Amino acid sequence: MADLSVNICGVPFKNPVIGASGTFGFGREFNEIYDISQIGGLSTKGLTVEPRLGNPVPRIAESKGVILNAVGLQNPGVEHFIKEDLPWLKTKDVVVIANVAGKTLEDYEKICERLNGLVDMVELNISCPNVRAGGMALGIRPENIREVTSLTKAKLTKTPLIVKLSPNVESIATNARAAEEGGADCISLVNTFTGMVVDLERRRPVLQNNTGGVSGSGIKPIALRMVYEAAHAVKIPVIGMGGISTGKDALEFMMAGARAVQVGTANFTETTAMPRIIREMNDWLDAHGVGSVNEIVNALQMN
Amino acid sequence: MKEYQAIVTACKPLTANVQALTFDIGERAVVRPGQFLNISTGNEMNLLRRPIAICKAEGSEITVCFQIKGSGTASLAKAKRGDVLSVLLPLGNGFYASEREKKIALIGGGVGVFPMISCIRAYCEKKQVYSYIGFRNKDAVCMEEEIEKSTQYTIVTDDGSYGLHKNAVQAFADDFERNTPDVVFACGPTPMLKALQSFMAEKNIPCYLSLEERMGCGIGACLVCVCTLTGGEHARVCKDGPVFNAKEVLL
């Protein structure tokens, strides 16, 4: 048995496989199928200060090798999470990462202040919402990333901060550095790519929101390249994601520089995908005589 | 609720574009009428499993019937005996008739007939089951051998080419005074469910509707398949439904 444990920003994970935000709820539903203490961690459904109803349906569409979602951050609000879900999550042996979102910088500050010290880590979702800065998405421009990171980091005196980066940007390396400069303890990437699926007969996009976030195995090569670039642009740890559905996929991301990985869409294709991915990682490491998964991190040799 | 590697035992056409797929899950299936499952299409380009109502569960064998509509259902229709498909089941709440509810009216339209068949099979020996089943035309009529297990049944077609020339809700409404049910279960296209919802609005008889929506996880985690309740809040079709009280859901 290979050692799968990793440590990110002082937080110990029994293995580097984390349920990605929005695909795993708050863990309860998946726990009806398997004990979620088997996985390293989970990133919660994106939380906002107030409850949100999200977008009209259909909220999901499919294209070859990928899916698109436009849920629109439906969530019960941070207070509901703290009261109803967090106590249950604490009974599980799993790292709890609270994914947070907001409309304004004040929203982000408020929610981080509230969660400070209550969860193991906070992950900042700055990939979809618009902010006061001229309607420009908060996660696109490096100066905005730096600002929201430093403001939220100031509130998170007891909890490590992960900044989740959007791939819909000019330079992922520049944005990764902006998060680091703003004081992020860690970055995670990639969030979904913006896309569209058309229903030809109806002459309309399938998603009621018209566009949505593309995820799934089809985005893996692009995500892997971006994780590599980001990991080589910063000194802080990187959590990689984007189309991971097998143990080998996960190890490829770690080889490219990720210290842990998140799994999203694969949870839909196969409810027990994450326990299988963990087994497959172990099997590969054993078969290759690698004692610890940490030896794989950054092991990629470029041509 | 469990994930199975199911082995296909049969896959054959029921009508020109409806396929019946039977598979074995290796253990006795405990399924309530109106529950559904989430099944992989067998094509790895389709990352989403398809949610389909369970039509029959016999021992360890389960049959679903589905319309071939897009690339996913077209792949699934090509399943061969011996193929292995990932299946998550049973999902959702299903239909439930209490002890006191002895007369059940079932209204099914199009592929909505298949969950109604699961109700007929579950209740035909214990209760009075009145079925009102609508098809597009004669060529679309299927599973009459299951429908006729009802205490009484009416088949209708949109064009009158088989059975009565009316829709399933009209057939139910026309028979309502004579065979007043204690509870009503329905599944079918949204316009059909809306017509039924409005017919039942002033009646003091419980009416339950099974809804359809595009789904992600199928277990209530991803919040993709929501519907809106009369109070304005969202409910998850996969986990809180797919069956909802007609008085509590907005269509």
- pLDDT score, position A56: 93
pLDDT above 90: residue A131: no
Q: What is the pLDDT of residues A25-47, one digit of tens each?
A: 999 999 999 999 999 999 999 99
Which of A126-130, A297-301, B64-68, B221-225 is predicted with the least confidence, judged by mean pLDDT? A126-130
Co-location of B58 and B148 in the same domain: no
In a domain, B162, yes or no: yes
In a domain, A301, yes or no: no
In a domain, B97, yes or no: no
pTM of the model: 0.95
- pLDDT score, position A128: 57
Q: What is the CATH number of the domain that holds A223?
A: 3.20.20.70
In a domain, A303, yes or no: no
End-to-end CA distance of chain B: 28
Residue A48: domain span: 6-295
Q: What is the pLDDT of residues B155-196, one digit of tens each?
A: 999 999 999 999 999 999 999 999 999 999 999 999 999 999
- From residue A216, how far is each of A60, A68, A169, A263, B38 by CA, in Å? 13, 9, 19, 9, 18
Q: Which amino acid is at B172?
A: F
Co-location of B54 and B32 in the same domain: yes
Token pair for B40:
């992989």
Number of domains in chain B: 2
Q: What is the pLDDT of residues A81-130, one digit of tens each?
A: 999 999 999 999 999 999 999 888 999 999 999 999 999 999 999 875 43
Number of domains in chain A: 1
What is the mean pLDDT of the segment spanning A154-169?
96
In a domain, A126, yes or no: yes
CA distance A19 to chain B (A): 11
Co-location of B84 and B138 in the same domain: no
Closest by CA position to B85, among listed B69, B59, B70, B64:
B64
Q: Verify whether residue A128 is a known catalytic residue.
A: yes
Residue in chain A nearest B39 by alpha carbon: A269
Token pair for B223:
């919040």
- Predicted complex ipTM: 0.94
Q: Which residues pair with A186 in a beta bridge?
A: A162
Co-location of B129 and B202 in the same domain: yes
Co-location of B131 and B158 in the same domain: yes
Co-location of B39 and B83 in the same domain: yes
Domain boundary among B44, B68, B91: B91
In a domain, B185, yes or no: yes
In a domain, B241, yes or no: no
- Chain B partners of A57 at a C-beta cutoff of 8 Å? 213-214, 224-227
Q: How many helices (H) and strands (E) does chain A have?
A: 10, 16
Burial class (CB in 10 A: 0-12, 13-18, 19+), A134: exposed
Cβ pair B226:A45 closer than 8 A: no
Beta carbons of A265 and A242 less than 8 angstroms apart: no
Cβ pair A59:B217 closer than 8 A: no
Cβ pair B47:A66 closer than 8 A: yes
DSSP code string of B136-190: SSGGG---HHHHTTSSEEEEEETTSSSSEES-HHHHHHHHTTTS--SEEEEES-H
In a domain, B245, yes or no: no
CA distance B108 to chain A (A): 23
Residue B190: domain span: 103-210
Cβ pair B219:A59 closer than 8 A: no
- pLDDT score, position A130: 39
In a domain, B236, yes or no: no
In a domain, B11, yes or no: yes
In a domain, A12, yes or no: yes
Compute the distance between CA of residue B187 and CA of residue A229 in angstroms, rounded to an integer: 51
What is the mean pLDDT of the segment spanning A134-144?
75
Residue in chain A nearest B50 by alpha carbon: A269
Domain boundary among B210, B227, B246: B210
Co-location of B87 and B170 in the same domain: no
Domain boundary among B38, B71, B91: B91
In a domain, B243, yes or no: no
Which of A60, A197, A206, A219 to mutate: most B Cβ within 10 Å? A60
Beta carbons of B52 and B20 less than 8 angstroms apart: no
Q: What is the pLDDT of residues B88-146, one digit of tens each?
A: 999 999 999 999 999 999 999 999 999 999 999 999 999 999 999 999 999 999 999 99
- pLDDT score, position A103: 85
In a domain, A1, yes or no: no
Chain A residues touching chain B at CB-CB below 8 Å = 22-25, 28-30, 32-33, 45, 53-54, 57-62, 64-67, 69, 71, 74-75, 216-217, 265, 267-272
